[in-house]
Amino acid sequence: MDYDYVIVGGGSAGCTLAARLSEDPQLQVLLLEAGGSDWNPLFHWPAGFARMTKGIASWGWSTVPQKHMNGRVFRFTLAKVIGGGSTINAQIYIRGNKLDYNEWAQLGCTGWAYDDVLPYFKRSEKNQNGASEFHGAFGPLGVSNPVAPLPICEAFFKAAGELGIPHNRDFNGSQQDGVGHYQLTQSNARRSSVVSSFLHEARSRKNLTIRKNVFVKRIVVESGRATAVELAGETIHAAREIILSSGTVGSPKLLMHSGIGPADQLKSVGIKPVHDLPGVGENLQDHLDLFVICECTGDHTYDKYAKLHWSALAAIRYLALRNGPVASSLFETGGFWYADENARSADIQFHLGLGSGIEAGVLKPKNPGVTLNTAYMRPRSRGTVRLASNDPVAPPLIDPNYWSDPYDKEMSLRGLRLARQIMKQPALKPFVLREIIPGSDLASDEELIAYGCVNAKTDHHPVGTCKMGIDEAAVVTPDLKVRGIEGLRVCDASIMPRVTTGNTNAPTIMIAEKAADLIRGITSAAPSTK
């Protein structure tokens, strides 16, 4: 069969893009995904997120040893399932700060300022609170308020207020500063992934073909044009374009295996360069997370539900009533504040975890606990994605290069110290007994740096490795076309020139919404309607 567009990667961007392009019945669209189906109930139950960081539906990759963090190797969870990150994430709906996008535009990314992208956020959104200046109500993506907050969440708001941090009812509205409940990509207390939202209607269209468990080895380039994708024993041609939506690691990896990337590095692993594009795999950015875990005075969080009999009762309650622990994403409370008092906008993010040891690699104490994560939002450190060999199946060399810029380390420590302060405020005294991680005996910068080197984790927000721009380091132009290659675009979080202030799923969906219009030659977003 002949296809107009072949989309490689069925994650947050790829599924969104496939749904939008296939709205035109004249177009034949093929979506290829390396992972399998989202059949497991854990993909749909909000609290299932806690199992995902432990490796379910992921590639199982890790970073190279981090030279600025005592050689630490980080687990790097990247989705390998239809729906990508939207199928396994914590469902937090954060768009970022409006200044993030204005900075993109200032860097030469014309058409990507906040006023340009807001209509695409609104178009995708079916917000529980209805339509407004900042929100849409008729899109496919369910966006809802938490259904299972606990009293400790309100105490957290009051504790932050005791330090002068205000309450914020809408982090995606006029102001990002403050603490509050996050809105979530959920609908009827179920995860609203791009599969259950964008693909729900689209998958029945005759002009959309979806293939799962398909691994793309390389892109075929002929006379400077991308013409086909090569699978094991099969080549699929695209009449118009091939669009890479394989993510911040997967997209540069596939480009390099196709001979598109830094020529010297490709030669060093035995790949013949097709097009020397030095920026491929550069500019990797991620949010590095430090956390405080406190022992609670009682069962104030969901920790007890880790035990089998309590888990069973929670599952029954969820199936019957659509509430309780299973309906919680576990990190649905938090906010934004300042590590650098001179920052142009809030530069740290908090996630209040309604338990302890929720994510893989995080120590779980004996008694019920609560976690406060903190991450510096605008890191100056830049890393890389490189190839280990010319074998397309081999894991890549992922180097976030955490804390390579000393400023990032300083801001991380300031965020950690603020998190510790919040947890010690009077409003939390009825709920919090004591800090157990890092522990009150650790106080100096040196001690907290050592703690961070052992315990820090990724927030799972990698971006930037096929950055959009107009400079020589750019991989794609502002219309997402790969520089120097015809018929090839990239559409996913890898195109972000700078990471956004917050979780990255919503911005990635927005990128795909805008990409669909760019591909179709539509200059402004038409709103979703009933």
Note the Cα 17 to chain centre separation in Å.
17
Alpha carbon dihedral 383, 389, 392, 398, in 10-degree steps, equals: -20
Instruction: Identify which of 76, 74, 100, 87 has the alpha carbon closest to the alpha carbon of residue 36.
Output: 87
Q: Within this chain, do residues 499 and 433 fall inside the same structural domain, yes or no?
A: no
Q: Within this chain, do residues 272 and 170 fall inside the same structural domain, yes or no?
A: no
Residue 383 lies in a domain: no
Domain stop point among 389, 423, 455: 455
Q: Within this chain, do residues 263 and 241 fall inside the same structural domain, yes or no?
A: yes
Among 44, 135, 275, 461, the one annotated catalytic: 461
Residue 224 lies in a domain: yes
| DSSP H/E element including 309 | helix 308-321
Residue 233 lies in a domain: yes
Note the Cα 270 to chain centre separation in Å.
32
The answer to whether 226 and 485 have CB atoms below 8 angstroms apart is yes
Is residue 461 annotated as a catalytic residue, yes or no?
A: yes
- Torsion-angle region of 324 (φ positive above 0: left; ψ -120 to 50: alpha; else: beta): left
Q: If DSSP codes are grouped into helix, strand and coil, which group holds residue 520?
A: helix
Structure tokens at 113: 């300022």
Structure tokens at 489: 């675009």
What domain count does the chain have?
Answer: 2
> Would you write out the chain's pLDDT as a tens digit for each of its 530 residues?
789 999 999 999 999 999 999 999 999 999 999 999 998 888 898 888 777 766 788 999 999 999 999 999 999 999 999 999 999 999 999 999 999 999 999 999 999 999 999 999 999 999 999 999 999 999 999 999 999 889 999 999 999 999 999 999 999 999 999 999 999 999 999 999 999 999 998 999 999 999 999 999 999 999 999 999 999 889 999 999 999 999 999 999 999 999 999 999 999 999 999 999 999 999 999 999 999 999 999 988 888 777 777 788 877 888 777 887 778 888 999 999 999 999 999 999 999 999 887 665 666 667 889 999 999 999 999 999 999 999 999 999 999 999 999 999 999 999 999 999 999 999 999 999 999 999 989 999 999 999 999 999 999 999 999 999 999 999 999 999 999 999 999 999 999 999 999 999 999 999 999 999 999 998 777 766 55
Residue 237 lies in a domain: yes
| DSSP H/E element including 324 | none
Q: Within this chain, do residues 26 and 84 fall inside the same structural domain, yes or no?
A: yes
Structure tokens at 112: 């990507």
**Residues in Cβ contact with 321 at an 8 Å cutoff, skipping those fewer than 6 apart:** none
Give residue 301's pLDDT: 86
Q: Within this chain, do residues 112 and 35 fall inside the same structural domain, yes or no?
A: yes
The answer to whether the peptide bond before residue 151 is cis (omega within 30 degrees of 0) is no
Give residue 316's pLDDT: 82
The answer to whether 273 and 391 have CB atoms below 8 angstroms apart is no
Give residue 364's pLDDT: 65
Q: Domain residues for 13? A: 1-142+191-281+463-530
Amino acid, single-letter form, for residue 160: A
**Residues in Cβ contact with 35 at an 8 Å cutoff, skipping those fewer than 6 apart:** 10, 57, 79, 80, 81, 82, 212, 213
In terms of Cβ atoms closer than 10 Å to its own Cβ (0-12, 13-18, 19+), residue 233 is exposed
Q: Within this chain, do residues 22 and 130 fall inside the same structural domain, yes or no?
A: yes
Crossing angle for the helix pair 98-106 and 114-124, to the nearest 10 degrees = 130
CA–CA dist 410, 449 (Å, integer)? 9
Give residue 529's pLDDT: 57
Residue 492 lies in a domain: yes
Output the domain CATH number for residue 106.
3.50.50.60
Q: Within this chain, do residues 48 and 127 fall inside the same structural domain, yes or no?
A: yes
In terms of Cβ atoms closer than 10 Å to its own Cβ (0-12, 13-18, 19+), residue 323 is middle
The answer to whether 73 and 62 have CB atoms below 8 angstroms apart is yes
Q: Regarding beta strands 141-143 and 125-127, do their DSSP bridges make them parallel or antiparallel, or are they unpaired? A: parallel
Instruction: Identify which of 522, 478, 483 has the alpha carbon closest to the alpha carbon of residue 106.
Output: 478
Instruction: Identify which of 36, 485, 415, 447 has the alpha carbon closest to the alpha carbon of residue 219.
Output: 485
Domain stop point among 392, 422, 455: 455
Q: Within this chain, do residues 117 and 71 fall inside the same structural domain, yes or no?
A: yes
Angle (CA) 14 192 170, round 5° = 105
| DSSP H/E element including 229 | strand 225-231
Structure tokens at 7: 């989309």
CA–CA dist 365, 351 (Å, integer)? 19
Residue 384 lies in a domain: no
Output the domain CATH number for residue 337.
3.30.410.40
Domain stop point among 429, 455, 481: 455
Instruction: Identify which of 244, 277, 271 has the alpha carbon closest to the alpha carbon of residue 392.
Output: 271
Q: Within this chain, do residues 118 and 137 fall inside the same structural domain, yes or no?
A: yes
Helices (H), 61-188: 85-88, 98-106, 114-124, 151-161
The answer to whether 381 and 402 have CB atoms below 8 angstroms apart is yes
Q: Within this chain, do residues 274 and 226 fall inside the same structural domain, yes or no?
A: yes
Return the number of other C-beta atoms located less than 10 Å from residue 441's C-beta: 7
CA distances from 156 to 166, 255, 420, 431, 493 (A): 11, 45, 12, 10, 32
Q: Within this chain, do residues 210 and 224 fall inside the same structural domain, yes or no?
A: yes
Q: Within this chain, do residues 114 and 16 fall inside the same structural domain, yes or no?
A: yes
CA–CA dist 67, 72 (Å, integer)? 8
Note the Cα 387 to chain centre separation in Å.
22
Q: If DSSP codes are grouped into helix, strand and coil, which group holds residue 90?
A: coil
Residue 363 lies in a domain: yes
